[in-house]
Structure 1
Amino acid sequence: MLTNELNEKKIHILKVAEKLFAEKGFEGTSIRSISKEAKINIAMISYYFGSKESLLESLILYKISDLKQELENLSKENLQPVDKVNKLIELYINRINCNRGVFRIMHFEMTSKKSSDRKKVFTEIKMNNLEIIERIIREGQEKGVFRKDIVIPLLTPTILGTYFNFFINKEFYEELLDLKTEKKFNAYINNNLTKHIQQTIKALLVYEN
């Protein structure tokens, strides 16, 4: 379900569902609780989304469906391989940082034993994005800029793992780096942490001098 297919009420329901799913998990959140929080009749939620499973899928697609298009556009830009990868990292970190709730939900669902059907949806999204990332890296390899022995599927967890480790230890880094406000914390992620990840990935990709 794409953004232009959603009306104001549907978007409101999705935002409430995102908040409750992130707080209580998918299994711990009921349609009734979403209805109460959103101040919308249960029948309307069922009419719009059918089931809680379909609501979750709609939420994920609503929040990240345009990422594939952004990656497609990036893969076609006339940039040097390193610059293209740096832009890719900026795109990923910004998207994750703005949608922490959704990524928390996805992580919970991917590790749950009760969500095999939903896992297929999330896995398909990941595979589509990985194909574009591979295309970007292959281009750099063909130009002789990137190493040939890179395990491309490990690049994404390297990027995401660094971000999530930093965020999970938020209180520690707020104290250590004097990031006492949300504005300072987010600014550090967008600038310093992003640059650190770019340098890390570049060290993995580029031949040593």
Structure 2
Amino acid sequence: MSRGRPRDPARQQASKQALRLAAQQLLEQKPYRSISIRELAQQAGTQSAMVSYYFGSKEGLFLDLLQHSGEQRQQRLQQLGLRIQAQPDQAIGLLVDNLVELMASEPWLVRLLQDEVLSQQSALRNGFMQAIPDRLKQGLLALFQQLIRQGVLRADLNPGYMVASLMSLVVFPLLAEPVMSQVLNIDRNTIVSDEWKHHLTLVLTQGLAPGGETA
């Protein structure tokens, strides 16, 4: 990649995407606050000035990355909604499987959640709230309300609470993986396994009480 400022719009988009990818890769290795603009540029194969030129600052780059990720998640959730409409009897299993895969596919986001979003108030925290949870909430809430109308989900439960329960079961293990791996011997490989997804699906559909066992 040329280290100068690209003039062609396609090359500009490629340069911006290279910086987004560099931000993801570096965030998987170290905390956000330890990443420098110089490292970002080196990782992307461009000049440090390109970070400011495209995003205004390092913070701007990561806010853009969150927005970009949120848009992709929204698209995938819409596609998932279409699949569930075609297979409503498989709704919970499809939700669990796809949401686990979605969260696990972006370890950089888990790192950012642990370091910046949950621990302190910051621009990145505000950007995260707008880009990802709010979109997921709206998409899942609409999907759950539809499934309630179809009789797939119980009508006596609060749809908002359903969203919170589902997201807590899917997201918390990834955030708490360093502790869970030591205390419960549940590591990342377990959290993304088919066995774990099956467990979550059974918990959501049948609960923990006796009488819900399958043959």
Q: What are the ranges of 5 or more consecutive residues in structure 2 without an aligned counterpart?
A: 1-9
User: Which residue does the alignment assign to 2:35?
Assistant: 29
- Could you list the per-position Cα deviations for residues 130-184 of structure 1 after superposition, in whole angstroms to 9, with x for gaps in the alignment? 11111222223223342322522232112222344457645788xx79x9xx9xx
> Structure 1 residue 193: deviation in Å?
1.5
* CA spacing shift, 1:162–1:37, aligned 2, 3 Å: closer
* CA spacing shift, 1:168–1:17, aligned 2, 3 Å: farther
Picking from 147, 153, 160, the partner of 1:146 is 153
- Could you list the per-position Cα deviations for residues 181-203 of structure 1 after superposition, in whole angstroms to 9, with x for gaps in the alignment? x9xx48x8242122212222222
User: Which residue does the alignment assign to 2:105?
Assistant: 98
Q: Partners in 1 of 2:21 and 2:183 — Cα distance?
A: 29
Q: Partners in 2 of 1:89 and 1:197 — Cα distance?
A: 7
> Structure 1 residue 112: deviation in Å?
4.0
* CA spacing shift, 1:170–1:93, aligned 2, 3 Å: same
User: Which residue does the alignment assign to 2:201?
Assistant: 198
Q: Partners in 2 of 1:19 and 1:123 — Cα distance?
A: 22
Q: Are 1:160 and 2:150 matched, yes or no?
A: no
Amino acid at match of 1:144: G
TM-score, length-scaled by structure 1: 0.75
User: Which residue does the alignment assign to 1:16?
Assistant: 22
Q: Report 1 or 2 for greater relative contact order, CA contacts < 8 Å, sequence distance ≥ 6.
A: 1
Residue aligned with 1:27, SS: helix
> Structure 1 residue 65: deviation in Å?
1.8
- Determine if contact 1:63/1:102 at 8 Å carries over to the other structure: no
Q: Partners in 2 of 1:163 and 1:103 — Cα distance?
A: 7
Q: Partners in 2 of 1:44 and 1:198 — Cα distance?
A: 45
Q: Partners in 1 of 2:109 and 2:58 — Cα distance?
A: 15
Picking from 124, 133, 138, the partner of 1:131 is 138
> Structure 1 residue 86: deviation in Å?
1.8
Identity of paired residues, percent?
A: 19
Q: Partners in 1 of 2:129 and 2:180 — Cα distance?
A: 27
- Could you list the per-position Cα deviations for residues 59-104 of structure 1 after superposition, in whole angstroms to 9, with x for gaps in the alignment? 2233342111221233344335441232122211111222112222
User: Which residue does the alignment assign to 2:120?
Assistant: 113
* CA spacing shift, 1:65–1:167, aligned 2, 3 Å: farther
TM-score, length-scaled by structure 2: 0.73
User: Which residue does the alignment assign to 1:47?
Assistant: 53
User: Which residue does the alignment assign to 1:65?
Assistant: 71
Instruction: Compute the RMSD of aligned alpha carbons.
Output: 3.2
- Determine if contact 1:19/1:101 at 8 Å carries over to the other structure: yes
Q: Are 1:79 and 2:86 matched, yes or no?
A: yes
Aligned length, in residue pairs? 194
- Determine if contact 1:17/1:34 at 8 Å carries over to the other structure: yes
